Amino acid sequence: MEAYKVHAKPQFNCLSLAFLFLFSLISSFANAEIHHHQFTVQETPVNRLCKTHNIITVNGQFPGPTLEVRNGDTLVIKVLNSGRYNITIHWHGIRQIRSQWADGPEYVTQCPIKPGGTYTYRFTIEDQEGTLWWHAHSRWLRATVYGALIIHPKLGSPYPFQNPKQEIPILLGEWWNRDPISVQRQTVFTGAAPNVSDAYTINGQPGDLYPCSNKGTVRFTVDSGETILLRIINAALNQQLFFAVANHRFTVVATDALYTRPFTTSILMLGPGQTTDVLLTTDQTPGHYYMAARAYATAQNAPFDNTTTTAILKYRTAKTGVPSRPTMPRLPAYNDTATVTAFTSQFRSPFKVEVPTVIDENLFFTIGLGLVNCTPGPRCQGPNNTRFAASMNNVSFVLPRRKRNSLLQAYYQNVPGVYTTDFPTVPPVQFNYTGNVPRGLWQPVYGTKLHKMKFGSRVQIVLQDTAIVTTEDHPIHLHGYHFYVVGQGFGNFNPRRDPARFNLIDPPQRNTIDVPVGGWAVIRFVADNPGVWLMHCHIDSHLMWGLATSIIVENGVGELQTVAPPPPDLPPC
């Protein structure tokens, strides 16, 4: 294994001997560790769906290495790019307090690591535990470059639920028989919708229902009568997924590395970017049971990958010999929004929480697709002579032009002309967002518009889906933060009626909220992490079309509330 760990051992420096002595005393007391890893990005042949493909991996592994740490630990990950594409790595859900330059989104907090280049990501886990993940944040490379990031409680601290006998990470992925970069390139060229994937995967394997895939099907062996913890991650590029295990129910205990009040369900739905931790008790007749995932698809008249990925839960005491076909779970219909609503409405924080009630930044962002008119031709293949776009508040987000800076660098060094801070705080035009939207409103404007706010601001954002082109549920992810989801509903958010039904007592916390199709969600948080933070749809085709913005949170008072200086090895543009 290429990973190794050392106990925190500060560098010796005679000037600060006393401090260091104290520090090592404290850190050995807390058992915080520093984990060093080398991530070599490389091209690796893998065999899937009857064919050998070269894909970009980390250390030749697909999915990539699982990082297991404890709350309070520090990670030092040296990324060496031996592949042929620019790349960056994002640590999805990590708050990156005082380590803004390690967040990862390309041209937002850093310029990419070019082929042959290296960059070392350093960050400390501060008061977070549960299941997160890491992935490439550069074009569509995350289709194959991703892995689990598991944060255990501090040494000696228990889980707030029954201690599981086994812990199993389950990474749901999406597979193309082509290089995902060429699928993306074609999409950018034509302006049409991207080709749908050829398979979904569980821990990198499509499973028994696809051609040439039986041999690779992932099997998890369990004993009868044990409780196991499944750490499920939706790493798919472009698709929300249902997940179920035949004959077994789940107890949901956490999501996005935040504990929830436990509840039981037989179906999960995860948007891309989301994680869900569940307990499962092996209380069924010893045998073989499929776990399966397939699409939850809400866009109207849009093609999607309607295949099903499976893995097998295998009881150790199951009769050997010719295994009978495993039992298949019943999955909801592809468009079963009622099941999704019944599931998501059960999420609560385990305790009463401190939700901001006085709001300094009252924001209302529409989220949705758009169409941009173009001259008929090969680059104008969207519906009726258009190119697809997507926007927030009618601004289709474009990364800094000419790729000379990241937004964080431009902000930190006061470089003019890279971005503007006039992102609209409310929709520039009010319309019936989820109704029949007049065609004249469908074309957004392109821009690198950000919204700036003071350190410590108490923020509310209404996220409102639009019916432009089609309504659809969008998994909106905010970097550098997690937030309370105080309300959700269908149709247009009503500022007079809906706040009365907000949950300000024990709302769930998340880093990615799947905003209901044709509906809205309201999130709240305190802007206590200075920096430049990307907020975007975690469906990569929508991100590419511009469904994003970034927020600048200004410095507060003192070093701890100030953006850290950039590390010396930050990749240049």
Ligand X SMILES: *[C@@H]1O[C@H](CO)[C@@H](O)[C@H](O)[C@H]1NC(C)=O
H/E stretch holding 27: helix 17-30
Farthest CA pair distance, the chain: 72
Taking the complex as a whole, the smallest distance from the CB of residue 435 to ligand X amounts, in Å, to 2
Task: Confirm if 558 and 530 have CB atoms less than 8 A apart.
Answer: no
Task: Please report where in the chains the tokens 């639920």 appear, as a residue.
Answer: 161
**Nearest to ligand X by Cβ — which residue?**
435
C-alpha separations of 133 from 233, 256, 572 in Å: 8, 9, 26
Q: Which of 186, 224, 227, 425 binds ligand X (CB under 6 A)?
A: 186
One symbol per residue from 231 to 270: x for binding ligand X (CB under 6 A), - otherwise; what is it? Answer: ----------------------------------------
Name which position in 444, 518, 530, 546 contacts ligand X (CB under 6 A). 444
Per CB under 5 A, which of residues 436..495 are in contact with Cu ion? Answer: 474
- Binding positions for Cu ion, 514-573, rule CB under 5 A: 537, 539, 542
Rounded Cα distance, 490 and 517, in Å: 7
Return the one option of ligand X, Cu ion, none that residue 378 interacts with (CB less than 5 to 8 A, by type). none
444 preceded by cis ω (within 30°)?
Answer: no
Q: Is 378 in the site for ligand X (CB under 6 A)?
A: no
Positive or negative torsion for Cα 419, 423, 429, 431: positive
Quick check: 549 binds ligand X (CB under 6 A)? no
Closest CA to 305 of 434, 194, 420: 194
The CB-of-499 to Cu ion minimum distance in angstroms stands at 25
Distances (CA, A) of 246 to 249, 252, 263, 501: 8, 16, 18, 36
User: Does residue 403 interact with ligand X by CB under 6 A?
Assistant: yes
Burial of 69 (0-12, 13-18, 19+ CB in 10 A): buried
Stretch that binds ligand X, among 15-23, 177-185, 261-269, 339-347 (CB under 6 A): 177-185
Q: Which of 114, 288, 379, 452 binds ligand X (CB under 6 A)?
A: 114
Among 6, 302, 429, 505, binds ligand X (CB under 6 A): 429
Residue 436 touches which of Cu ion, ligand X, none (CB < 5 to 8 A by kind)?
ligand X
Strand 445-447, strand 395-397: pairing: parallel
Q: Which of residues 64-93 bind ligand X (CB under 6 A)?
A: 86
Taking the C-alpha atoms of residue 60 and residue 120, their distance in angstroms, rounded to an integer, is: 19
How far is residue 233's CA from residue 132's CA, in Å, rounded to a whole number? 8
Contact window for ligand X (CB under 6 A) among 66-74, 180-188, 322-330, 413-421 = 180-188
Binding-residue total with ligand X (CB under 6 A): 27
From CA 420, how far away is CA 448, in angstroms rounded?
6
**Residue with smaller CB distance to ligand X, 57 or 394:** 394
* Residues lying near ligand X in the complex (CB under 6 A): 86, 111-112, 114, 178, 182-183, 186, 195, 306, 333, 335, 383-384, 394, 403, 428-429, 432, 435-436, 440-441, 443-445, 573
